[in-house]
Structure 1
Amino acid sequence: MDKIIIEGGKTRLSGTVTIEGAKNAVLPLLAATILPTEGTTTLTNVPILSDVFTMNNVVRGLDVAVDFQESTNTIVVDAQGEILDEAPYEYVSQMRASIVVLGPILARNGHAKVSMPGGCTIGSRPIDLHLKGLEAMGAKITQLGGDITASGQLHGARIYMDFPSVGATQNLMMAATLADGVTVLENAAREPEIVDLAILLTKMGAKIKGAGTEVLTITGVDKLHGAEHQVVQDRIEAGTFMVAAAMTSGDVLIKDAIWEHNRPLLAKLIEMGVEAREEAEGIRIKSDLSTLKPVTVKTLPHPGFPTDMQAQFTALMAAVNGESTMIETVFENRFQHLEEMRRMGLHSEILRDTALIHGGNPLQGAPVMSTDLRASAALILTGLISEGKTVVGKLTHLDRGYYRFHEKLAQLGANIQRISED
């Protein structure tokens, strides 16, 4: 089992780091490649992550040809032949995001069977919004033995979403592209990854209006064709390196980072006293940790502060003198990393959805265990500012969302290595 070892305490990150294509964008993009019956679909700027390999296998399991050219970060998908109705349990069970194949399979075949998905243990993340939306579009849904079966010819519908779920918005948007008539999704998710999916679908011949707003309008078409698309840059990886620079009094250029996509995070960094500047090549973060001030952060759906940056930002809060407050409103079980950080000397209190972080106290390196994807990054960042050696285990979570994270930190000046143990 692999471990990451950090010798921390005096780390100051500096230099330039290049980020990858977005994990949270490429997974639904891969689901969308199921839809075209003419031509192949090519995705470029694809990150080399374990979740991508898993989704590739989900799509392959539908009897679709998937060619991942890792040397060029390119995936070519050929779904022109008949595809199967049932997504393979072996891979769907590994990853929550795989539920987004339900809509495309149903829209194309009129029948779909997908197992209840797995993933990080950060909350219940129910899929009722996915199913209610498909039912409103004419699907008959049954759940039996851990499987979801959907059947029926889809038609347009006006759907109000109780919560702006990213996954449900993606699933319903893809299903609606081939539905008969017009579908309107109200209170839809507005994340950049939604916009990226809409761009690909539009290239395929879909008719979509309002991507990035609260109301999406999709007019169904008879068929879709292949297209070529570059995956948008990963705002969460970019944000992770912004936080890393801030908490180490660093000076780091995050190459190709998009200011608009990271605006909620940047606003809080600037409120703390971090210098953030948009440059031609990306976003530069400069910081003097001794001058930073505590803040209050509340996670919300986009354009609010992203829940996927919560764990990393609490690591920054731990470094800043004073009491900071983190309120988590999206997932109910996303403070598990704080228990591990207490092993390193963190003083914190958790009351339901709120964590009080008493920052600025000396931290000590310790053996810690990743509890989910973003928590793994937070523990590594905490190791950078902790005296002595920190050993982070259970890196399967990290590899789901970060490509060679330790190497990128090392190039910026961190004393970090990854080792394999039997």
Structure 2
Amino acid sequence: MNSLLQDAQAAGARVGLTAEKITINGGRPLRGRIQLKGAKNLVTKAMVAALLADGPSELRDVPDISDVRVVRGLLDIHGVKVTDGPEEGVLLLDPTGVESAHMADIDAHAGSSRIPILFCGPLLHALGEAFIPDLGGCRIGDRPIDFHLEVLRRFGAVVEKLPSGIRMTAPNGLHGAKVELPYPSVGATEQVLLTAVKSDGITELRGAAIEPEIMDLVNILQKMGAIITVDTDRVIRIEGVQRLTGYSHTALFDRNEAASWAAAALATEGDIFVGGARQAEMLTFLNVFRKVGGAFDIADDGIRFYHPGGDLKPVVIETDVHPGFMTDWQQPLVIALTKAKGVSIVHETVYEQRFGFVDALVDMGATIEIHKECLGGHPCRFGQRNFNHSAVIAGPTVLHAADVEVPDLRGGFSHLIAALTANGRSTVSNVGIISRGYENFISKLQQLGADFVLEN
């Protein structure tokens, strides 16, 4: 059994998904209402931020996904007491007993997650040392940790690479630094924020990511006592403080999950009300959704996404960092684009290997070609590096049933959508990976009227 499959099965088991496969009878529109919780890309980082406090924190709207379980386990082995609150989706995090953890324990709990790298700054502040194992993650492109390590060195960390992983110490404490990112990386921005807030002096970060999840992390850190200013030119300045208190915070909704269900509604000619979704954070997606031919109604408590009838229209999409079209949105939307009348182009500029999910779609009858050139937009950083990062989708095509294996989180959800639209019975395996970022997606499929059975 390969490691990716083991990770998927373990992830599924942790969130109550014991089946390895889903067999779907396609061709039925998804209709109904679902409710979102907090964003995967914010909640896990907010949990790490609790390490910086000298008292307990309360985080609300926490989704029951495997990535949250991974971080909870990592906090536990570091002596942070994590308990469920009085209501569903509430976590109480008490870091007053924080301690060092053994490398083997960190490795065992981390699995394929890359979240341990973000523990380093807070642990260096709390303990003067940190350990991380080799790190994994979805296989969608280059996500090196070398830049993270270089950032930590600039703050004064001493980095020692060992056969079992990486050990860091801060013999002279951590101090403010000037950091300029060559690309607005979300992970690198989070690293700087979590390290700088208690470092001595002022940190200036240029070329920062400004995604809504980043801004919500800034909100949390400010609640804790941090001093952070964000300029309009992607410059973030942090004045280090000696002490941070615990926070009480309701997490930002998961806009990636919202976009995924919106794409499912459009591709299946359905009608889904996504409770908790908000217009402001979805602005760019909503514009593209409307251009394709989808319709939406915005309410105070969510957004209704539906297919209004008629032909879908082809579009040209270029993924980008916020406020551009998110890379996590393009994979689910590609399924709807196979139904559009004409030729659509998707130019991926964030992750260079994000079209691995397309092979299964072609096997299902989609007409999709992948190219190395920068198509439909401006030249990007992958254009001269021989990466297949542009897709040309011709439609409309009718997908037929097939057996497919989930390659990564967003690609896996896209395969679910494809199976839901296809004629006949499809089997999607390795579905535990989807549980990394989609809370109770099996229950939500049931709520929306999907026709499927689970298999071991």
Please tell me the TM-score bracket, short chain as reference: over 0.9
Aligned-residue sequence identity (percent) comes to: 35
TM-score by length of 2: 0.87
Q: Residues 289 and 107 of structure 1: is their aligned pair in 2 closer, same or farther, counting only changes over 3 Å?
A: farther
CA contact (8 A) 2:224 2:246 kept: yes
For residues 45-64 of structure 1, the C-alpha deviation after alignment (integer angstroms, 9 at most, x for no partner) is 10001111111111112122
User: Paired residue for 1:280?
Assistant: 300
User: Paired residue for 1:27?
Assistant: 44
Q: Secondary structure at the match of 1:284?
A: strand
Amino acid at match of 2:432: T
RMSD: 1.9
Q: What are the equivalent positions in structure 2 for 1:267-306 lying under 5 Å apart?
A: 267-288=287-308, 290-306=310-326
CA contact (8 A) 1:208 1:217 kept: yes
CA contact (8 A) 1:348 1:355 kept: yes
- Structure 1: state its 5+ residue gaps: none
Cα offset, 1:92, TM superposition? 2.6
Q: Secondary structure at the match of 1:356?
A: strand
Amino acid at match of 1:368: V
User: Paired residue for 1:12?
Assistant: 29
Cα offset, 1:338, TM superposition? 0.7
Partners of 1:336 and 1:86 in 2: CA distance: 36
Cα offset, 1:71, TM superposition? 5.9
For residues 373-400 of structure 1, the C-alpha deviation after alignment (integer angstroms, 9 at most, x for no partner) is 1111101111121101111110121111
For residues 396-422 of structure 1, the C-alpha deviation after alignment (integer angstroms, 9 at most, x for no partner) is 2111111121321332232234x142x
Aligned residue among 212, 215, 230 for 1:210 = 230
TM-score by length of 1: 0.94
How many residue pairs were aligned?
418
Partners of 1:92 and 1:8 in 2: CA distance: 36
Amino acid at match of 1:67: T
Cα offset, 1:223, TM superposition? 1.3
Q: Secondary structure at the match of 2:174?
A: coil
Q: Residues 266 and 202 of structure 1: is their aligned pair in 2 closer, same or farther, counting only changes over 3 Å?
A: same
User: Paired residue for 2:363?
Assistant: 343
User: Paired residue for 2:394?
Assistant: 358
Partners of 1:99 and 1:133 in 2: CA distance: 11
CA contact (8 A) 2:37 2:276 kept: no
Partners of 1:306 and 1:291 in 2: CA distance: 25
Partners of 2:324 and 2:162 in 1: CA distance: 36
User: Paired residue for 1:120?
Assistant: 138
Cα offset, 1:330, TM superposition? 1.2
Between 1:398-407 and 1:143-152, the stretch displaced more is 143-152
Amino acid at match of 1:382: A
Q: Secondary structure at the match of 1:291?
A: coil
Partners of 1:82 and 1:99 in 2: CA distance: 17
Partners of 2:431 and 2:116 in 1: CA distance: 21
Q: Residues 137 and 86 of structure 1: is their aligned pair in 2 closer, same or farther, counting only changes over 3 Å?
A: farther
CA contact (8 A) 1:59 1:66 kept: yes
Partners of 1:253 and 1:320 in 2: CA distance: 22
CA contact (8 A) 1:85 1:111 kept: no
Q: Secondary structure at the match of 2:139?
A: coil
Q: Secondary structure at the match of 2:115?
A: helix
Partners of 2:446 and 2:216 in 1: CA distance: 31
- Structure 2: state its 5+ residue gaps: 1-18, 372-387
CA contact (8 A) 1:345 1:364 kept: yes
For residues 123-166 of structure 1, the C-alpha deviation after alignment (integer angstroms, 9 at most, x for no partner) is 12112332222222222223232522222211112211111111
CA contact (8 A) 1:129 1:161 kept: no
Q: What are the equivalent positions in structure 2 for 1:59-138 lying under 5 Å apart?
A: 59-69=75-85, 72-84=88-100, 88-138=106-156
**Hey, which bits of structure 1, 4+ residues long, moved more than 4 A?**
none
Q: Secondary structure at the match of 2:122?
A: helix
Aligned residue among 135, 147, 158 for 2:165 = 147
Cα offset, 1:289, TM superposition? 5.5
